[in-house]
Amino acid sequence: MPFLIVSGASLVTAALLMAVTALIAKRVGKVSVVDTTWGLGFVVVAAVSAALGSLSGDGDPLRRWVLLGMVGLWGLRLAWHTHRRNRGKGEDARYAQMLGDAPFRVALGKVFTTQGIALWFVSLPVQVSAVASGGWTWVAWIGVGLWAVGLLFESVGDAQLAAYKRDPDRGPIMDRGLWAWTRHPNYFGDACVWWGIFLVAASAWPGVLTILSPVVMTYFLAFATGARLLEQHMEGRPGWAEYAARTSMFVPWVPGRRSM
């Protein structure tokens, strides 16, 4: 019963956040504001889950608050980064390509509803951990370590890309630093973050049952709204074909050799 309360409240929270974001997007004429809500949404859901878990008196307080800290650091950094990236600019090319000239109601289904459901589903490990009992194990510590690697990968990748964009002598394709090892270090970092969060949740029953949450997150990052959609936009850029031929698409790999 405590989990149903936490999960139901999380679903309502995700729905309200996306509804407000849709209203803002309609007003400013830019669907990409949802990118900021994406990071913030996980933080709010994690905070709601932790608060309700504490009120219920169930679960391991250490796991609950550590997970809130992990999600909070990741989500706030991501939200701030996307806000700065999109501030003062027009619609993101990914959403423009996805929606075309379709009316706004199409965006309600394809973007806001989809991301709201995904936010709730991906955050299931956090929801379960809010009320799950049991001590910390080596699995949890591996999860914290994997989360740290992912956050570092994502942060460094974003910083390197920002420096590249400021360079007046830059080439047509960013292929420096982490971007020489994977075409999407930020998305790969995101995936590591959520596999790490899952492992922390899996260290106590029934957290292991939420394994589909990081699977879905990885699918979105690599094959749906993340890397694949961005690559469709990049395909016509000079030098892209050569870069793609020598650089792993998602998992970091030795430059010049192919991996996923």
pLDDT per residue as tens digits for the range 97-129: 778 778 888 889 989 999 999 999 999 999 999
Domain-located, residue 140:
yes
Counted domains in the chain: 1
Domain-located, residue 257:
no
**pLDDT mean across residues, the chain:** 91
Give the C-alpha separation, 251 to 260, whole Å. 6
Domain-located, residue 252:
no
Q: Is the overall model pTM greater than 0.85, yes or no?
A: yes
| Radius of gyration over every alpha carbon of the chain, rounded to an integer in angstroms | 19
Domain-located, residue 256:
no
Domain-located, residue 259:
no
Report whether pLDDT(205) > 80.
yes
Domain-located, residue 219:
yes
Return all residues near 169 (Cβ < 8 A) that are at least 6 apart.
Answer: none
Give the C-alpha separation, 196 to 258, whole Å. 25
Of the pLDDT bands very low, low, confident and very high (cuts 50, 70, 90), residue 209 is very high
The string of pLDDT tens digits covering residues 144-179 is 999 999 999 999 999 999 999 998 888 889 999 999
- The residue type found at 259 is S
Q: Taking Cα atoms as reference points, which of 75, 245, 42, 228 lies closest to residue 154?
A: 75
Domain residues for the domain of 91 are 2-246
